[in-house]
Structure 1
Amino acid sequence: MSLKKKPLKSKPVCKVTFALTKEQAKNASGVHLVGEFNDWDVAAAPMRRQKDGSFSATLDLPAGREYQFRYLIDGEVWISDPEADKYAFSPFGDCENSVVVV
């Protein structure tokens, strides 16, 4: 998993690419990016399957903020991003949410 950030010079926005390798996605048929930036809507941000079996999604996020997020694999398995900028306790269980700082 990895996060790539590209700040835009013309706007206070950062293009953030979220990615999962094929192995990290565990041969999933579908992965969704779910977080504060989409009100934790499990259907709002489907990630695109790449030719190599990995998944990715790019979002334009307002700069100067932090966003908690997780990945939802096949609508059943939640995973965090081990390469996140930091982590935050989730009030919905004994897991940690990933955090991206833009």
Structure 2
Amino acid sequence: MIQKTYLKTKDQCKVKFSVSIESADRVEIAGLNNDWDNPIPMSKKKGGVFECVQSLPKNSQHEFKYLIDGSEWRNDPDADGETPNEYGGTNSILSV
């Protein structure tokens, strides 16, 4: 799930990412701000839900994927769309 909260006083949007993967020990978000080398760790909550809040610039678009336990890549079904990537798969698209 993706929740967007636009801040009236700043050119930022707070984006809350939530993904439920009960079998995972670690989930990270890769690709935000075009940074694929430094995934952002998500906090594990009850019931296998991982959450993360990021501030992103308004009127921007980001490609991203979830990295699960350092080896499995997964798109977000609630993303604004998908785009092909160079590996023959797709990346999630977030528009803020």
| Common fold by TM > 0.5 | yes
Match of 2:50 among 50, 55, 64: 55
* Distance in 2 between residues matched to 1:101 and 1:36, nearest whole Å: 11
Mark the runs of 5 or more structure 1 residues left unpaired by the alignment.
none
CA deviation map 1:58-90 (0-9, x unaligned): 100000011000000000000001111011111
- Point out 4+ residue stretches in structure 1 off by more than 2 angstroms: none
What is the TM-score normalised by the length of structure 2? 0.93
Distance 1:81 1:3 in 2: 9
Output the TM-score relative to the length of structure 1: 0.88
Aligned length: 96
The alignment yields a C-alpha RMSD, in angstroms, of 1.2
| Residue of structure 2 equivalent to 1:18 | 17
1:98 lines up with 2:92 in the alignment:
yes
How far is the alpha carbon of 1:41 from its aligned partner? 2.4
More strand by percentage: 2
C-alpha distance in structure 1 between counterparts of 2:18 and 2:32, whole Å: 17
Matched letter for residue 81 of structure 1 = D
CA shift, 1:36, in A, is 3.5
